[in-house]
Structure 1
Amino acid sequence: MPDVIAPRLRVLFCGINPSLYSAVVGYHFARPGNRFWPTLHAAGITPHTFQPTEQEALLALGYGITNVVDRATATADLLNPAELARGAKALEAKVARYQPRFLAVLGVSAYRIAFGRPKAALGTQPERLGDTRLWVLPNPSGLNAHYQLDALGRLFAELRRAVEQG
């Protein structure tokens, strides 16, 4: 899956890894039932609910998309800890190159494993990657039943407000 990325974005959203469906169609968060795109709109990040085919339009708004691990799987739990840790190292290099203001990792469990932060919680993180602030958000996958769209929208809106405040 090619990244949707440019230098100095406001936020680089970082999924765990592409779904098999997304890998086939070539768009991030494309699997039916994924709530990423409705969540961005609910949070006030996009002017309407984008379709996955509109992913490049995020760049004009200052947002992009990447993944911790490039390998597509049916579910993220098929990734092993070593794979997530290697992905975090590659992500650190990508962040150093593109220098987004925020890196928003979508999935607290994956963040904990990938970055070796077993007690990490949602929200802003105390550590940074260079000058890039780290933020952890829930995974918007439809398989994540812990968060409904309204709660996802509120949590993503917290990040939007932090971005707007500088």
Structure 2
Amino acid sequence: MSILPDLLETGLRLVFCGTAASDISAREGAYYANPANKFWRTLYDIGLIPEPLQPKQFPQLLTYRIGLTDVAKHAQGVDAMLTPSDFDAIALHEKLLLYQPAMVAFTSKKAASVYFAKATGGLQYGIQPEILGETRFWVLPSPSGAAVRYWDIQQWHALSAWVKEHA
């Protein structure tokens, strides 16, 4: 059973894909639930949602044609505690083929590196050259409080602009 349920359906303009649920998110049953995580505030600040949402309100993202998933659906914790067997890039790939969102935004280089089978050092933030059917990919700086030294909201603003123009 998944730690957090996927929030996926056809017709999505954007799907955010994280690495795995944090311990706090798993306990709360909600994506990006750690109070130090900037995810929910950022979605509002960059204009992807018209009002701030709380983590437990995550199903409401479908109203805005935004979905959520993780590369590791059956594990929880910080990236450093996860093992290679916790990740299932094939299952994620199959979901993306099924639902075909316009854009998948990885909320960390680690999540993208698992999916693309590339070292994190070989990934740049921003739109990626890979395309899956009609789906494009973007790598974002992590909104996690644990990754604050890498935080840069500009990539999130650029993603928002792309989604508003293309999706």
In the superposition, the TM-score normalised over structure 1's length comes to 0.89
Question: Which residue identity is paired with 2:65?
Answer: G
Q: Secondary structure at the match of 1:16?
A: strand
Identity %: 36
- In structure 2, what is the Cα distance between the partners aligned to 1:126 and 1:114? 14
State the match for 1:64 in structure 2.
67
- In structure 2, what is the Cα distance between the partners aligned to 1:82 and 1:23? 19
- In structure 2, what is the Cα distance between the partners aligned to 1:147 and 1:49? 23
Question: Which residue identity is paired with 1:74?
Answer: G
What are the ranges of 5 or more consecutive residues in structure 2 without an aligned counterpart?
Answer: none
State the match for 1:106 in structure 2.
107
Matches within 5 A, 1:61-140: 61-84=64-87, 87-118=88-119, 119-140=122-143
Q: In the alignment, is the contact (CA less than 8 A) between 1:10 and 1:102 conserved in 2?
A: yes
TM superposition outliers: structure 1 runs of 4+ over 4 Å: none
Q: Does 1:51 align with 2:54?
A: yes
Larger strand proportion of the pair: 2
CA RMSD of superposed structures (Å): 1.5
Q: In the alignment, is the contact (CA less than 8 A) between 1:20 and 1:72 conserved in 2?
A: no
What are the ranges of 5 or more consecutive residues in structure 1 without an aligned counterpart?
Answer: none
- In structure 2, what is the Cα distance between the partners aligned to 1:27 and 1:72? 14
In the superposition, the TM-score normalised over structure 2's length comes to 0.89
Q: In the alignment, is the contact (CA less than 8 A) between 1:23 and 1:72 conserved in 2?
A: no
Equivalent pairs counted in the alignment come to 161
